[in-house]
Structure formats: C-alpha cells, structure tokens
Amino acid sequence: AKKVLLFGDIGIDDTIAILYAYMNDDIDIVGLVADYGNISRENALANIQYVRSLFDSKEIEDVQIIAGAEIPMTGEPPVYVPEIHGEYGLGPIIPDPDGQDGISENFHDIVEIIERYQDELVIVNIGRLTSLATMFLLYQDLMRKVKSYYIMGGAFWVPGNVTAVSEANFHGDPVAAHLVLSNADNVTIIPLNVTQQAIATPEMVDYIDQVGDLPIVKTLLDYYYDYYKDRDPYIQGSPLHDVLTLMAINQEDMFTFQNLPVQIVQAREGTERGQSIADIRPYGNMGAEAEEEVRTHRIAFGLDYPKFYTRFMTVMSGQRFE
C-alpha cells in the first residue's frame, strides 16, 4: 500500500477522500494535517476525529492527526464556505467539539513522519497549501526526500470556482501555492479541468447508501449536491475534487497529463488572485531566460470518466463494478 501524508481542509470532499482511503487497501494514510480552509482548523480537526470514530478498526487509531495552519501566508483572516461544506464542514452534521484527544499540536511531528517514510512517502494536499509551504520554508532538504506530491488545485484555461479564473485552494493562499510549486519536484497537479468531471450523481450516492455501509456518504453528498444544484439546475451531480486527487496516486491510467511550467498570481485582491497559469506554447518557458532551468509540473488535463466511476463505486460500495 502507498504510504500517504494528507494535508487537507477537511470539508465534504476531503472527508469522502479519507473514507475512500479507509475503504481501499492500496492506500495507507500515515498522517493527517488539518488546516483552515473550507472551515476553521479547529473544525477540520474535529471532523477528522468524527470520521475516525466511524471506524473501530485498530489501524485507524494509529493515524497521527496534526494541527496545521490557522491562517494563510497572506496574513488576512480566512474566508470559510459553510454554504458548500456546512457550518462545521460535514454538511448537516455537528461533530462533538470535545473529541480533541489524540491531536498533536506539535508541527514538528510532520518532520518525524517524513523522516520515517522518506522516499516511500506520497504527500497529498487537498486543501490550502499553507502547512505544506511552511514545510518548504523550514525543511527544504527533507522535502526533497519525499517520493511524490499530488496537489488538488488550479484551473488552466477553464473557469475558476472562486473567481472567474481562480480555484479555491490556490485562491485561499496564493503565496503558499507559489512557494510549493516553485520549490517542489515530482508534483502532479489535479486541477478543476479534471475534478469538475469527477461527478457523483444522486443515483451513485443512493446506490452506495443502499449496498455500502457508510451512511455518512449520502448525508454529506446530498448536502454538497444541494449547493451545486441550486447554482446550476443542469449539473448532474457534485464534483469530488479531493477524492480524484487521492485516486490519482496509484491510478494514473485514469488521466492524460502534460508537463508544463506553472505560475501562480500572488495578488492579494482581485479576480486574478491565485490564478494558475501554465505555458503550453511548444517553445514556452514562462518567460525564463534561455539558459535558466525551468521547473515543470505534471498537470492532469484529461479524465477517463468510466474508469473513475467504476473504481470509485467499487471501493465505496464494496461491490465489483467491471
């Protein structure tokens, strides 16, 4: 199984991604860093505890939960999105706020996890990039030992979901997004280009509810779909941004990729805050000097939906969908 250190802002699709990992023997989450984002860091931590409480199996108790960032590197107070993820980030569910045992407030515990697993470790970031960027600020050499990075974020030549051009994780902390993408190698970016195709329809959710044994899935995705349906009556279901990103770590055949240089607009205000720009011109090097080494990242632009559908449904309903 792939060893995964997950950085997230534990809203609805983050939670579905964690459930997918728990249901899937190929993924072993060894640590969970909870940041502000969809909701506050405190709510994100409580949500992880709540999800863990749904499973009574031993190996889940061993997952280390670490408190991450409370505000973005830009310094301003975060803007939460209760209308999408619910007041506490779990749709209508109000998790027990006292369930804070087993949470580490020691950010250095992240270092120990990375030192333990090194080039066996895959880091998956499905929230704002503030805590991950902090690791690059403090531990450059250590971060180079990590096998690979999978980042949910960005929108390339497609509309954003916060502004006309910007996606939520990069918009939430554009300084952090820039910092990670200008320092990390072996990065795969899973942008809105593919995550908005990774739709869970109400029929899929009802089937999982009938034959699976995770009633929280319907509770969460019905709430999530209500938001999207109110905005776009023609949408067929709700986008599972974070689930698709976690699936990408060992199911790369679901995607088509391009390796391109990426720039993040670090404006604090305005439509272009957090915009992700890639240079797709054959001679493109994002304006770097001729002799300058240009860092590129692997970006997913195409998704094989039937593969996503079959594999997601198989894991979440415990059935075989061939």
Interface with Ca ion (CB under 5 A): 9, 14, 126-127, 242
Contacts of 191 (CB under 8 A, 6+ apart): 153, 154, 155, 156, 158, 167, 276, 299, 300
Q: Which of 188, 184, 108 is nearest to 143 (CA)?
A: 184
Told to check if 47 binds ligand BDR by CB under 6 A, we report no
**Options 11-19, 217-225, 270-278, 306-314: segment touching ligand BDR (CB under 6 A):** 11-19
Identify the three-state secondary structure at position 3. strand
Contacts of 39 (CB under 8 A, 6+ apart): 9, 10, 11, 47, 80, 81, 82, 85, 87, 88, 89
Among Ca ion, ligand BDR, none, what binds residue 167 when CB lies within 5 to 8 Å by partner kind? Answer: ligand BDR
| Rounded least distance, CB 127 to ligand BDR, Å | 6
Among Ca ion, ligand BDR, none, what binds residue 35 when CB lies within 5 to 8 Å by partner kind? Answer: none
What is the Cα–Cα distance from 181 to 198, expressed in whole angstroms?
24
Exactly one of 63, 126, 143, 244 binds ligand BDR (CB under 6 A); that residue is 126
Contacting ligand BDR within 135-194 (CB under 6 A): 152, 161, 167-169
Told to check if 125 binds ligand BDR by CB under 6 A, we report no
Considering beta carbons, is residue 152 or 316 the nearer one to ligand BDR? Answer: 152
What is the Cα–Cα distance from 22 to 51, expressed in whole angstroms?
10
Residue nearest ligand BDR by beta-carbon distance: 168
Both tokens of residue 54?
């749904």
# binding residues, ligand BDR (CB under 6 A): 13
Phi-psi group of 6: left, alpha or beta (phi > 0 → left; psi -120 to 50 → alpha; rest → beta): beta
Considering beta carbons, is residue 3 or 128 the nearer one to Ca ion? Answer: 128
Burial of 164 per CB tally in 10 Å (0-12, 13-18, 19+) = exposed
| Rounded least distance, CB 167 to ligand BDR, Å | 5
Told to check if 13 binds ligand BDR by CB under 6 A, we report yes
Contacting ligand BDR within 204-263 (CB under 6 A): 241-242
| Rounded least distance, CB 110 to ligand BDR, Å | 19
Among ligand BDR, Ca ion, none, what binds residue 261 when CB lies within 5 to 8 Å by partner kind? Answer: none
Per-residue x/- mask for ligand BDR, residues 16 to 35, rule CB under 6 A?
--------------------
Both tokens of residue 147?
């096998």
Considering beta carbons, is residue 8 or 261 the nearer one to Ca ion? Answer: 8
Taking CA 276 as the corner, what is the angle to CA 163 and CA 196, rounded to the nearest 5 degrees? 65
Both tokens of residue 172?
């939430």
The residue type of 172 is G
Residues at the contact surface with ligand BDR, assessed by CB under 6 A: 11, 13-14, 38, 126-127, 152, 161, 167-169, 241-242
